[in-house]
C-alpha cells in the first residue's frame, strides 16, 4: 500500500504542476490577458520553487524523516492547488502556483529515495515510479481538458487537490512512524576513487539540467504546439487533452522499459543510445505538419521520458541511502531551478521565433545530454555494509 501511494504521489506531483499549462488559454481569457504567451511567465515561480525547495526538502527527508515529509507533501500540495482556484488575476495566481511548487519540491528528493531504500531491483522500481509520474502528466492533459470544458478551469485545480488530501489520510494510516531518520542508519562503503565520484556527480547533474530543460519546454509547450499545427484543436480543449494524454501515456511506457533494462544491461550504453536519439527526433519534428506532428511528438516524448530514470538510477547505484535525499535535493535544486527559466522564456520565445526554433533549441539541448553521458563510468562500484 505504501509503494502504491508513493507512486500515486508522483502522479499527483506532476499533474498539479501541469494543470496550468493545459488550461492557460482558458485562464488568460478569464483574466482578460491578451494571449497565453503573455500569461505563461506567471507560472515560473512554481517551477523555480520546485527546484529550489528540493534542497531543504531533501535535507529534512534524511534528517527528520521521509514519512513525515511525505505527509506534508500530500496535504500541502492539495491545499495549495485548491487555493489556485480562488485566485482572481495573474499575480495572485503566480503566488498560489509558487506555493504549489514549494510543496511539489518535496516529492522527488523524499518519495523516490523512500521507495527504493529497500528494493533489490532499483531500475524496475524507478521505471514503475516514472510511469506513474508520467501518467500524472497524461491525466493532467486529459482531466484538465474535460474539466475546463465542462465546469471551468478552477475545477481543474480543485479536483486533484481534494484527491491529494484523501491520499494524505490514506498514507497516514498505511505507514508507521520511522524508528530513526535515514541519516542515522548504518552506512555503506562505496568503493570509488574521489575523482570518479566527482565525475559521476557531474554527469548526474549536467544530464539532469539538460533533461529538465527538455522536459519543461515540451510538457509546457506541447499543447500550444499541437494547436499551432492542428488549428481546429484551439476550440476543442477536450480533444486536445485526449491527444496529449495519449502521447504521454505511450511515452510513459518508455520509462517502464528503460527501468527494467537498467537492472539487466550496462547503464552507460543504454543511456547513450537514448540520449543520441533525442536530438534526431527533435530535428525530424521540424519538418512535420498536421497529424504528422502528433506522430513526431509521440516519438520525441518517448525519448524524453525514456531519459528520465537515469538520474535516479545513478543515485541508487552510486549513493549511500543515508544521504540519497540530500544528494537528490542538491541535484534537483540546481537542475529544476535552472530549467525553470524555460517556463519564463517559453511564451516570449515562441511568440518571437516560432515553434520550429523551439524544436531546434531542444535538439541542441539534448545533444549536450548525449555528450555529457559519454563520461559515465562503464560499471558501478561495489558497496558493502560498514559498522557504525
Collapsed DSSP state (helix, strand, coil) of residue 18 = helix
All three cell numbers of 222, joined, read 506541447
Checking if the pLDDT of 185 tops 70, the result is no
Collapsed DSSP state (helix, strand, coil) of residue 124 = helix
Q: CB neighbours of 227 closer than 8 A, spacing ≥ 6?
A: 233, 234, 240
Checking if the pLDDT of 302 tops 80, the result is yes
Measured N-to-C along each axis, helices 355-373 and 267-285 cross at an angle, to the nearest 10 degrees, of 160
State the DSSP H helix or E strand holding residue 223, giving kind and residue range, or none if neither. helix 194-229
Collapsed DSSP state (helix, strand, coil) of residue 188 = strand
Of the pLDDT bands very low, low, confident and very high (cuts 50, 70, 90), residue 213 is: confident
Which of 2-6, 12-16, 42-46 is least confident? 42-46
Contact 1/176 with Cβ under 8 angstroms?
A: no
Percent of the chain whose predicted confidence (pLDDT) is above 90: 31
Among 15, 11, 18, residue whose Cα is nearest residue 343: 18
pLDDT at residue number 12 = 95
All three cell numbers of 90, joined, read 495573474
Among 274, 310, 282, residue whose Cα is nearest residue 298: 282
pLDDT at residue number 145 = 82
Q: Is the pTM of this model over 0.75?
A: no
Q: How far apart are CA 312 and CA 204, in angstroms?
A: 9
pLDDT at residue number 183 = 55
- Using alpha carbons, list the distances in angstroms from residue 207 to 196, 210, 264, 269, 308: 16, 5, 22, 15, 9
All three cell numbers of 153, joined, read 478551469
Contact 145/24 with Cβ under 8 angstroms?
A: no
pLDDT at residue number 314 = 80
Measured N-to-C along each axis, helices 122-151 and 237-264 cross at an angle, to the nearest 10 degrees, of 180
pLDDT in tens, 17-32: 889 988 888 899 899 9
Q: How far apart are CA 6 and CA 336, in angstroms?
A: 21
Q: State mean pLDDT over 342-358.
A: 83
Q: Say how far residue 221 (Cα) sits from the centre of its chain.
A: 14
In sequence order, what are the beta bridge partners of 169?
A: none
Contact 129/6 with Cβ under 8 angstroms?
A: yes
Q: Mean pLDDT score of the chain, rounded to an integer?
A: 84
pLDDT in tens, 65-92: 889 999 999 999 999 999 999 999 999 9
Domains annotated on the chain, with CATH: 2-385 (1.20.1250.20)
Of the pLDDT bands very low, low, confident and very high (cuts 50, 70, 90), residue 191 is: low
- Using alpha carbons, list the distances in angstroms from residue 87 to 13, 26, 56: 20, 14, 27
Q: How far apart are CA 310 and CA 317, in angstroms?
A: 10
Amino acid at each position: 500500500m505504501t509503494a502504491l501511494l508513493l507512486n500515486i504521489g508522483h502522479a499527483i506531483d506532476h499533474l498539479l504542476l501541469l494543470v496550468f499549462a493545459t488550461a492557460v488559454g482558458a485562464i488568460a481569457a478569464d483574466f482578460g490577458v491578451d494571449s497565453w504567451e503573455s500569461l505563461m511567465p506567471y507560472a515560473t515561480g512554481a517551477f523555480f520553487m520546485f527546484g529550489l525547495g528540493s534542497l531543504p526538502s531533501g535535507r529534512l527527508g534524511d534528517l527528520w524523516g521521509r514519512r513525515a515529509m511525505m505527509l506534508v507533501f500530500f496535504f500541502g500540495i492539495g491545499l495549495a492547488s485548491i487555493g489556485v482556484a480562488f485566485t482572481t488575476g495573474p499575480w495572485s495566481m503566480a503566488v498560489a502556483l509558487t506555493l504549489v511548487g514549494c510543496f511539489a519540491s518535496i516529492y522527488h528528493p523524499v518519495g523516490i529515495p523512500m521507495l527504493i531504500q529497500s528494493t533489490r531491483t532499483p531500475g524496475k522500481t524507478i521505471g514503475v515510479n516514472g510511469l506513474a509520474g508520467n501518467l500524472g502528466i497524461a491525466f493532467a492533459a486529459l482531466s484538465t481538458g474535460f474539466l475546463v470544458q465542462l465546469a471551468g478551469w478552477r475545477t481543474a485545480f480543485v479536483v486533484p487537490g481534494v484527491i491529494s488530501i484523501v491520499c494524505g489520510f490514506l498514507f497516514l494510516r498505511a505507514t508507521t512512524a520511522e524508528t530513526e531518520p535515514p541519516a542515522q542508519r548504518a552506512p555503506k562503503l562505496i568503493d570509488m576513487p574521489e575523482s570518479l565520484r566527482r565525475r559521476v556527480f557531474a554527469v548526474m547533474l549536467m544530464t539532469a539540467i539538460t533533461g529538465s530543460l527538455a522536459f519543461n519546454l515540451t510538457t509546457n509547450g506541447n499543447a500550444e504546439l499541437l494547436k499551432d499545427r492542428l488549428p481546429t484543436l484551439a476550440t476543442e480543449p477536450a480533444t486536445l487533452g485526449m491527444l496529449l494524454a495519449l502521447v504521454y501515456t505511450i511515452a510513459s511506457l518508455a520509462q517502464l522499459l528503460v527501468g527494467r533494462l537498467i537492472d539487466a544491461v550496462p547503464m552507460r550504453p543504454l543511456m547513450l543510445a537514448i540520449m543520441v536519439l533525442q536530438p534526431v527526433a527533435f530535428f525530424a519534428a521540424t519538418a512535420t505538419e498536421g497529424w504528422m506532428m502528433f506522430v513526431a511528438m509521440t516519438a520525441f516524448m518517448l525519448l524524453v521520458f525514456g531519459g528520465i530514470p537515469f538520474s535516479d538510477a545513478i543515485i541508487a547505484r552510486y549513493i549511500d541511502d543515508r544521504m540519497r535525499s540530500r544528494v537528490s535535493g542538491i541535484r534537483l535544486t540546481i537542475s529544476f531551478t535552472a530549467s525553470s527559466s524555460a517556463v519564463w522564456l517559453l511564451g516570449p520565445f515562441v511568440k518571437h521565433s516560432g515553434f520550429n526554433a523551439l524544436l531546434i533549441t531542444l535538439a541542441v539541448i539534448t545533444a549536450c545530454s548525449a555528450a555529457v553521458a559519454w563520461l559515465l563510468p562503464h560499471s558501478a562500484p561495489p558497496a558493502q555494509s560498514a559498522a557504525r
